[in-house]
Copies of this chain bind each other. A is one copy, B any other.
C-alpha cells in the first residue's frame, strides 16, 4: 500500500461547497469570479482600469471551509493572446484574482495553461509577474498531459518554458489534466512524473459505466493515475461538461479510493523511508566520524544484505578444505551483524573458524564486548583500532567488510581495504566483497535540483547527495546503455602496486548516453554493484537490483547535481566525465557534462557544457584519516 490516501476534490460553486464536502469530497475547486466580471471587462474602454471587483463579479467569499477551497481563475483569460489589449487585460484580471485569493486565505489558485506554443513567453511573463505579486499563493498551471498534436511533448515543452522563464519558482506547480481519450507514450508519462504535480484534474467524462452502472476509469487512465498516486497529488474532478452524469458524486469518490487501495504494494524501502523521499543527505564520513547507535540499528535491519553476506561467507567456507581452520576477520565490525553472519555460515558449512572482529569506534566496541560475552560465548577475538594499522602475528583467510557507499567506493572502501590487506594470507586469502563497480545515469529532477538550490549555499551544487529518489525521470533511453559503469575496484588489490599518496586509487571515466525524448538534465544518479564472493552480489543499480538483491534498502542512490539545468532536445547525447581524485589525505569526486545533438547524417553539434563541479574537492571531500 502507498503511504497516503489520495485527497479527492470536485469543482463546484460557492453555493454547493458544503454539499460537495458532505458527499465525501475532501476539497473543492471554486471559481473566484463570475460572468459579471467578464461582461464588464469586455465593455471596458482600453483607457479604463478594472479597479475593484463589483459585488456581482465575486463568485467566492471567505467562509468556514476556506482551507478546503482551491481557487479557479477565470477560464476566459487569454494571457497569451496575440491581441495586446486582451493579453494585458487578462494579466490584470489574473493579478486581481490572485490578490483576492490571497486575501481570502486560499493556498492555491488554478489557471489554464497557454493555448499554443506561439506566445508561451507572454504567458510565462504574466505568470511570473503574478508569482512576484503574491507572497504565499501557489499557482497551479493546468496542462493536458499530451498535446493532441503531432508533437506529443508540446504541452510538456510549454510547461518547461514557463518554469524556466519563472526561474523554477517554488510556488509554481502543475495541475495535470488527464483528458478522457488521452494515450500518452510512456516516455511522456514519465517526464511529467518528474514535475511538481500538485494536482491531477479529470473530467467526469473520463469515467465509463461498469456493468453495474458505476463510474470507472478505462485501463489507460487507470494506469497513469496509479503511477502518479506515488506523488501524492490531489485529485480534482469536474462534471459540468459531462453529457449525462453516470454516477453520483459519492460513486466517484468511493471508486477513486478503491483504485488507490487496490494498488500493488510499494517497494518495502518506500514504506520504511517515506519521509526520506527526495530528501538530500550528505554522505557519511565513516573514516573520520564515529557512527551513532541508531545508524547501526537502521542498517542492521536490512534483511537482504546480511543474507547475501552470510551466503557469500558460506560459499567461501565451502570452498575451503574441510579439515582446516579458517580465520575470518570482520573489519569494521560495528555492533557485530557480520560476525553473526560468519558464525551462522560456519555452522551451516560445518567448518571450523577462528573469528576475529575489529572495530575503531570505541562506542560500538563496547557493544561488541557485551555481545561476545552474551551471544558468542567469548569465542570471538576482539581487536580495537583502525584496520589500516592492525598488525596481527597471524594471517587472515577471509576478510569481511561492509564499507561500501552508494557508488561503491565513495565512502573509501578502497583505501580501507588497501590498508588492511597486508593481514591477508598472500596465497589463498580472499576479501568479501571482492569487487565493486560504480554506475551512473543522467536524470531529470526539478525537485532534487530545487532542493539543492534551496540550500542557499554556493557549494550545494558541487556535492554528492544520498537520496531516495522519487520525483525524477531517467533521461537516457530505456535500453542496456541507460546505466553505464565508471570504474571498479578489486580486493585484494594485486593488479597494481599500492602507491604512496593513494595514487593507484585515482580514477577517470567518460561515458555517453542517448536521450531520445526531450528533457532537462538536472544531474546524475550514481549506484553500485558489488560482488561479495563468486556469483553472490549486492546491487542498487536499477537494471540488476531485482535480480541480485531485491528489496535491499541499506543504500539510496547518489545524486550529483549540475549548477545550471541543461535543456536536452530530442535525439541528443549526454557525455559525462567523472574523476575520483586524491592527494593522499582526502578523496573527492569531480564531474562535468556536455550535450551534443546527433543529426541523421551522423554529424554532431555541440549544445552546451557545464563547468567542472567540486574542483579540487572544494565543496566536498572524504577525509582518509
Q: A residues engaging B (CB < 8 A)? A: 46-47, 49, 84, 88, 121-122, 124-125, 128-129, 132-133, 157, 160-161, 164-167, 497, 499-501, 503-504, 506, 508, 510, 518, 564, 566-567, 569-570, 575, 577, 579, 590, 592, 594, 597, 599, 605-612, 615-616, 618
Q: Please give the distance in Å from A543's CB to the nearest CB on chain B.
A: 26
Chain B contacts for A564, CB-based, 8 A: 564
Residue contact A166 to B612, C-beta cutoff 8 Å? yes
Chain B contacts for A615, CB-based, 8 A: 125, 128-129, 132
Closest to A127 in B: B612
Residue contact A605 to B569, C-beta cutoff 8 Å? yes
Chain B contacts for A133, CB-based, 8 A: 616
**Bound Cα distance from A592 to B128, whole angstroms:** 12
Partner of A122, one of B499, B508, B569: B508
The A contact surface, by secondary structure, is mixed
Residue contact B592 to A121, C-beta cutoff 8 Å? yes
Closest to A124 in B: B612
Contacts A49-B501, A506-B88, A577-B121: A618 and B132 contacting too (C-beta < 8 A)?
A: yes
Q: A122-B508, A607-B607 are in contact. List 18 more A-B contacts (CB 8 A).
A: A46-B503, A47-B504, A49-B500, A121-B575, A121-B592, A122-B577, A124-B612, A125-B592, A128-B615, A161-B606, A164-B608, A164-B610, A164-B611, A165-B609, A166-B611, A518-B606, A569-B605, A597-B597
**Bound Cα distance from A157 to B594, whole angstroms:** 12
Q: What are 13 of the A-B contact pairs (CB < 8 Å)?
A: A46-B497, A46-B503, A47-B500, A121-B575, A125-B577, A125-B590, A128-B615, A129-B616, A132-B615, A161-B609, A167-B612, A567-B609, A569-B605
Residue contact A510 to B121, C-beta cutoff 8 Å? yes
Residue contact B609 to A47, C-beta cutoff 8 Å? no
- Pick the most buried of A46, A504, A611: most chain B CB atoms within 10 A of its CB: A611
Within the oligomer, what is the number of copies of this chain? Answer: 2
Residue contact B508 to A84, C-beta cutoff 8 Å? yes
Residue contact B129 to A592, C-beta cutoff 8 Å? no
Residue contact B592 to A569, C-beta cutoff 8 Å? no
Residue contact A612 to B518, C-beta cutoff 8 Å? no
Partner of A607, one of B567, B609, B611: B567
Residue contact A612 to B499, C-beta cutoff 8 Å? no
Residue contact A569 to B594, C-beta cutoff 8 Å? no
Chain B contacts for A164, CB-based, 8 A: 608-611
Closest to A518 in B: B606
Task: Report the 8 A-B pairs with minimum CB-CB distance, sorted nearest first.
Answer: A47-B499, A167-B611, A567-B608, A132-B616, A121-B577, A569-B605, A128-B615, A165-B612
**Bound Cα distance from A569 to B596, whole angstroms:** 10
**Bound Cα distance from A518 to B607, whole angstroms:** 10
Residue contact A606 to B157, C-beta cutoff 8 Å? yes
**Bound Cα distance from A348 to B157, whole angstroms:** 63
**Bound Cα distance from A616 to B126, whole angstroms:** 10
Chain B contacts for A618, CB-based, 8 A: 132
Chain B contacts for A129, CB-based, 8 A: 615-616
Residue contact A592 to B165, C-beta cutoff 8 Å? yes
Residue contact A606 to B567, C-beta cutoff 8 Å? yes
Chain B contacts for A165, CB-based, 8 A: 592, 609-612
Closest to A600 in B: B599
**Bound Cα distance from A106 to B47, whole angstroms:** 67
Partner of A599, one of B592, B599, B606, B611: B599
**Bound Cα distance from A588 to B494, whole angstroms:** 68
Chain B contacts for A611, CB-based, 8 A: 128, 164-167
Chain B contacts for A506, CB-based, 8 A: 84, 88
**Bound Cα distance from A257 to B6, whole angstroms:** 79
Chain B contacts for A88, CB-based, 8 A: 503, 506
**Bound Cα distance from A166 to B616, whole angstroms:** 12
Residue contact A594 to B166, C-beta cutoff 8 Å? no
Closest to A153 in B: B606
Residue contact A125 to B166, C-beta cutoff 8 Å? no
**Bound Cα distance from A606 to B579, whole angstroms:** 31
Chain B contacts for A508, CB-based, 8 A: 84, 122
**Bound Cα distance from A220 to B497, whole angstroms:** 55
**Bound Cα distance from A510 to B506, whole angstroms:** 51
Residue contact A161 to B594, C-beta cutoff 8 Å? yes
Q: Please give the distance in Å from A191's CB to the nearest CB on chain B.
A: 14
**Bound Cα distance from A160 to B608, whole angstroms:** 10
**Bound Cα distance from A499 to B49, whole angstroms:** 10
Residue contact A121 to B569, C-beta cutoff 8 Å? no
**Bound Cα distance from A508 to B597, whole angstroms:** 33
Chain B contacts for A594, CB-based, 8 A: 121, 161
**Bound Cα distance from A615 to B164, whole angstroms:** 13
Partner of A47, one of B161, B167, B503, B610: B503
Chain B contacts for A504, CB-based, 8 A: 47
Contacts A164-B609, A609-B161: A569 and B597 contacting too (C-beta < 8 A)?
A: yes
**Bound Cα distance from A429 to B121, whole angstroms:** 40
Chain B contacts for A575, CB-based, 8 A: 121
Q: Please give the distance in Å from A143's CB to the nearest CB on chain B.
A: 17
Chain B contacts for A157, CB-based, 8 A: 606
Chain B contacts for A570, CB-based, 8 A: 605
Q: Please give the distance in Å from A519's CB to the nearest CB on chain B.
A: 12
**Bound Cα distance from A49 to B612, whole angstroms:** 25
Closest to A131 in B: B615
